[in-house]
Structure 1
């Protein structure tokens, strides 16, 4: 008998009929002889509905109240899934994040998991029950407040539970049947991958691929939890996320992504002296704002322009933080641009293959796509471009690096 964690996203529980389908999948796994833990997201659209209600009251809402509100989506979904399982003749029990001992830090809206006690999960499994756990939510013990893990946090919940209870596999059920080389809605010739390394999946997830939350992949890699991405609608083989192997290294580019949830902030006229960058980014860190790409242009007058990217959802708070520090550092102004996108190519094979960056830049140039910022690592190259060119960039890069047959070293 193996122990399986199964996570179902919002579209998978988006209606009563789909909830019944989730129950059938979970019961089938149980009848095959496995112990089963189901992690459920909120019903499709529910989290956005709640956030929009909050925004109508105040665009600069309190993050504690945000967590208190949006966590109710998952809390409402799990009893429905549990009851659907019971209707199929199997015993099941639902748990909130608090009830399974999902302990987090106090960073509201993007909390990080500290530990999971999982005592009630172990007890219920021993009694032969299917456990249904609310994704996305935890508790900060110092205050007793509900916290949430950020959008896509149910993926992180599932992998964290799998690590905590030493599950054999964490199955992530979505509305797609695996991980593709690009978004199939943008690239008609996108190919499904049978296997992908943790490192590649981590880059793809952090760069805009919406199949898995990046933190869930981090946890999978840290605790060596095999992650299987499957469709909750069609019974098809999925994509297995595991340790890198030699066959993976032969493929130069595994995926092409575009992330439109990006905004650029530029602080103009920053004095060029030690400690300035630390003061700016320290202020942003205090506000729990993650900064991605950074560029500093040093002028001849001893002033610099400092540009960086943040998630669009953090833009207003990031501008406030920059405005607060602008006067103290003697900068002239803060400007922002929401109309950008980050396009990236990812592949472990890039580590040993020269000229990939030059080819990427040439392709973008040939299609009159201007590059505003560049970031690289051993296995990825990212460029910030005008948002209106994002889909074109993905198509031309995918055609050259994936479809033309010269993608194997």
Structure 2
């Protein structure tokens, strides 16, 4: 279907003037448009705080219903603004748009999209304005919300279902940068990214695109264009056409530096070899945002370190309680909060004996204490004190990305 999906984030719909600006942009499009909206800026946080003021344990069903009101308000408001300038428009809920999910409250995944009603609306010359972040459980028919950033996933899923030419993610930045441009003056916009690189950046803390949306786009080969809602300039294209060399390629490539704060660090001791696979499988639950750490080497046999978002501590504690009851480990130690900084690229695992010292020496020279370091083919992540995070981002970016050429790597040497 010859159309474009346009997703407007909360900062692009922050007040009446911004909603009118979005409406004018939609009106100037020279091809059919399907619009997906987030809640107006700050609305979701306000609702979360309201729920927290009322109860320490809000029922998941009721919390989903409460949080979904933000997107419904945005959709109705934008449809009104379009009508006001002479553009026929109609707001759609997740149910109206045919979005069905697996039914997990608060962290649902889209399993199917029946976009027939949205398609009919477009064919009638009307602009559908669809609520992001929500869908209907396939089994129960209950409203469910996706994880944070779920409006991105809604937009990509509709693009796939409608065979759209592209999915535009319209936001308050000009595209995807090599680091957060609000904190790193040397960060530069990237014109193109592969799905794999974008997925790694998103999972490492880059908030410009939600990780599930990148995963969905990759699976369905949806071209995604991240660009500013305030200008007409080209942003960053995320497509399969720009996939790079295999993960274990000998060529070293740095793509960007991402960071996360509000992380907790946990160490499990007394894990027997027989139970190690059980523990690691439990920690691999995608809803928990767990990242297993490798460095420094444990001074205790059978120890495992990982980080997790502070907001997920209770869920992890429940899971660990079951493992401990089954004698999977003997001791659990929590610490933090800590920050995590990730250098994203390719070829790191193949060259980590030389890359790792450069990362550590860069941070040490700026008095940043590294607590852990983990290496994979696409990423090198370190944990440090939260107050050191932005400094670490700045200097890792300067070392690995500010120059046009990859820095000279030291000769291989042992690192203690």
Cα 1:259–1:244 change in 2 (3 A) is: farther
Structure 2 match to 1:346 = 344
Name whichever of 40-49 and 365-374 sits farther off: 365-374
Cα 1:2–1:223 change in 2 (3 A) is: same
Cα 1:194–1:279 change in 2 (3 A) is: closer
Structure 2 match to 1:266 = 267
Structure 2 match to 1:24 = 24
Inter-partner Cα distance in structure 2 for 1:349 and 1:245: 17
Cα 1:335–1:347 change in 2 (3 A) is: same
SS at match of 1:44: coil
CA deviation after TM superposition for structure 1 residue 262, in Å: 2.3
Residue 359 (structure 2) pairs with residue 360 (structure 1): yes
Structure 2 match to 1:326 = 324
Query: Which of 52, 56, 61 is the equivalent residue of 2:58?
Result: 61
SS at match of 2:302: strand
SS at match of 1:368: coil
Query: Which of 27, 47, 50 is the equivalent residue of 1:50?
Result: 47
Cα 1:290–1:339 change in 2 (3 A) is: closer
Query: Which of 102, 105, 108 is the equivalent residue of 2:102?
Result: 105
Inter-partner Cα distance in structure 1 for 2:203 and 2:351: 23
CA deviation after TM superposition for structure 1 residue 76, in Å: 1.4
Residue 225 (structure 2) pairs with residue 224 (structure 1): no
Superimposed CA distance per residue, residues 203-237 of structure 1 (whole angstroms, 9 cap, x where no aligned partner): 11110011000111111111111111111123322
CA deviation after TM superposition for structure 1 residue 339, in Å: 1.5
Inter-partner Cα distance in structure 2 for 1:227 and 1:330: 43
Structure 2 match to 1:7 = 7
Cα 1:254–1:283 change in 2 (3 A) is: closer
TM-score (norm 2): 0.89
SS at match of 1:222: helix
CA deviation after TM superposition for structure 1 residue 299, in Å: 6.3
Is contact 1:284-1:322 (8 Å) kept? no
Instruction: Report 1:6-405 matches (<5 A).
Output: 6-29=6-29, 32=30, 34-243=31-240, 245=242, 252-267=253-268, 269-275=269-275, 277-278=277-278, 281-282=281-282, 285=285, 288-294=287-293, 304-329=302-327, 331-348=329-346, 355-405=354-404
Inter-partner Cα distance in structure 1 for 2:294 and 2:377: 19
Cα 1:318–1:201 change in 2 (3 A) is: same
Inter-partner Cα distance in structure 2 for 1:85 and 1:70: 24
Inter-partner Cα distance in structure 2 for 1:280 and 1:192: 36
CA deviation after TM superposition for structure 1 residue 193, in Å: 1.0
CA deviation after TM superposition for structure 1 residue 329, in Å: 1.4
CA deviation after TM superposition for structure 1 residue 294, in Å: 4.5
Superimposed CA distance per residue, residues 373-409 of structure 1 (whole angstroms, 9 cap, x where no aligned partner): 3333322211222222111100111111111332399
Inter-partner Cα distance in structure 2 for 1:113 and 1:246: 25
Name whichever of 143-152 and 63-72 sits farther off: 63-72
SS at match of 1:202: helix
Superimposed CA distance per residue, residues 220-277 of structure 1 (whole angstroms, 9 cap, x where no aligned partner): 111111111111123322111122548899882121111114222223x434241355
| Unaligned ranges ≥5, structure 1 | none
Name whichever of 167-176 and 251-260 sits farther off: 251-260
CA deviation after TM superposition for structure 1 residue 325, in Å: 3.5
TM-score (norm 1): 0.90
CA deviation after TM superposition for structure 1 residue 100, in Å: 1.1
SS at match of 1:192: coil
Inter-partner Cα distance in structure 2 for 1:364 and 1:166: 46
SS at match of 2:253: coil
Inter-partner Cα distance in structure 1 for 2:49 and 2:18: 24
Is contact 2:105-2:145 (8 Å) kept? yes
Inter-partner Cα distance in structure 2 for 1:395 and 1:352: 25
| Unaligned ranges ≥5, structure 2 | 409-416
CA deviation after TM superposition for structure 1 residue 134, in Å: 0.3
